[in-house]
Each structure stands twice: as structure tokens, then as C-alpha cells.
Amino acid sequence: MKYKNNIFVKTVVLMCIFFMTINPNVVFANNSKHNLNDDLQKDNKKVIYLTFDDGPSKLTDKFLDILKENNVKATFFLIGNQIEDNEQVVKRIYSEGHSIGLHTYSHKYRKIYRNGDSFIDEMNKSNEIIKRVTGKESHLIRFPGGSRKHLNKRFLEKLHNNKFKIYDWNIQAPDGINPKIPPYKLVKEATKDPDKHNPVILLMHCDYMHKNTCTALPQVISYYKSHGYEFEPITENTDEVYFPIKTNKASSFLEKLFKN
């Protein structure tokens, strides 16, 4: 009888877990110390970190012209294999006071996300090139596509052991989905509900395809300036900000339940 009761209890638990998994918010918990659900800016200062992915390219110079005209500093997460033909652009990014981050060497998902070591090797390879060009290395990293599907506690610890700091985003212009989206739509999305986030970490792109992003940029800058935001580059001292780490509580619970 005791054995049957035990089987019944386990069956009920399994059924509950099955239905809980239909809603990921029930099963998964946030284990991130600095994540995009946290309010990192505790004072009244309104800050925006303007960030650009997928450079450098010939078009990046036009982005730099706009930033210079508006006296704004930004952060560029660069792809290592694009630097060789654009070294002067990288030198300009650095000399004009912008921050440089790592966005892997190849940006090829199958390669960089093969395993943790492959990801770190890509970042290190890109870092070596940036150090050669600018004389300074960087530990600021951004996952291609964001960290959401790739970051767990063990990998986070490994990245920290390699001195890397992660920066995702909380607002984005959808130019990464389609670079041909009209500028007015990019402006609309890039300025959508910024009061929900402080600091704002805005994701845009600056490779050769993103002419519409370049057109939209002055309006984006004007909007945030008119709403009292200060533009700052991400530095080694900036608190890292990444998407919540999702841990499946059901797995550890089942392990304990059925270990005997």
C-alpha cells in the first residue's frame, strides 16, 4: 500500500510539472544579479547607452560623423573579421572617445555557439585584433542575437573568469531584423517607452546595409536629448546588463524526487 501511495504521489507531481511547463514563467526563475529586470540607475539621472552592432564597415564613418556633430559618445560591438579592411574606422572610433566591445570574430552562429570554449575563442581572437589596431584590449562583450538562449550560471562564471562583461539591451531598433525598414519606423521603435528603463541600452546596427539606420540616428539622438537623457559609452566600470538567466527548477526537483 505504501508503494502504491508513493507511485501515486510521483504521478501527480509529474502531471503538475507537465502543466507548469506550458507556462515558462512558472518553471523558470531569474538567477541573474545584474539583469534587464533590475533598475540599475538608482538616482534621478537619465542615462542612455547608444550601442551599435556588426561593424566596422565603410558606412560606420557616417555614423561617427553624426555622433560627432551631436557631441554624443556611443559603444561599438565589432566583428573581428571585418576589422582588417576597416582599420582606420576602428582607430577613429577609439580616438574620438567611443567604447569598443567584442561581437565575436566570425558572427557565425553554428561556430560560435558550438560550445563555451568556441565562443570564448572567438571573443579572444577579436580582442587580439582590436588590441593590435588600437593598442588597448576590451572585455566588453555582446552575444550575437543576445544572451537569452545561451547564458547559464556555469557559462556566466566561465566568462567572468575570463574577465568578460556582458551587455545585452532593453530597447532596439528592428534594423537587425530588416535593414530596409523605413527610418520613421526605426525612430518609433528606438524611442518606445524609454521611461520603463534606466539606463536605456539601445541596440542599433552600423554595417554597410544599414543606411536607413544612419538616416534615423539624428532623430533618435534628438528625442533622447529633448527628454533629458545623458549619452554615455559603456566602459569596464559599467555594471553588466544581461537577459535573465533561466534555470529549470523542474529538473533539479525531479532528480531529488526519483533519486531513491
Q: Which residues are catalytic?
A: 53, 205
Separation between Cα atoms, residue 21 and residue 27, nearest integer Å: 6
Kindly write down the DSSP assignment for every residue of 103-143, as one continuous string: --SS--HHHHTS-HHHHHHHHHHHHHHHHHHHS----EE--
CA 125 to each of CA 36, 103, 195, 215: distance values in angstroms, whole numbers, following the listed order: 28, 11, 37, 32
Q: Are 107 and 54 in contact (CB under 8 A)?
A: yes
Q: What residues contact residue 11 under an 8 Å CB cut-off, 6+ apart?
A: none
- Count of helix runs (H) and strand runs (E) in the chain: 10, 10
Query: In one letter, which amino acid is 7?
Result: I
Cα separation, 53 vs 107, in Å, equals 11
Retrieve residue 215's grid coordinates: 538616416
Amino acid identity of residue 149, one-letter, is K
Helix (H) / strand (E) element for 206: namely none
CB burial string 49-83: b at 16+ within 10 A, e below: bbbbbbbbbebbbbbbebbeeeebbbbbbbbbbbb
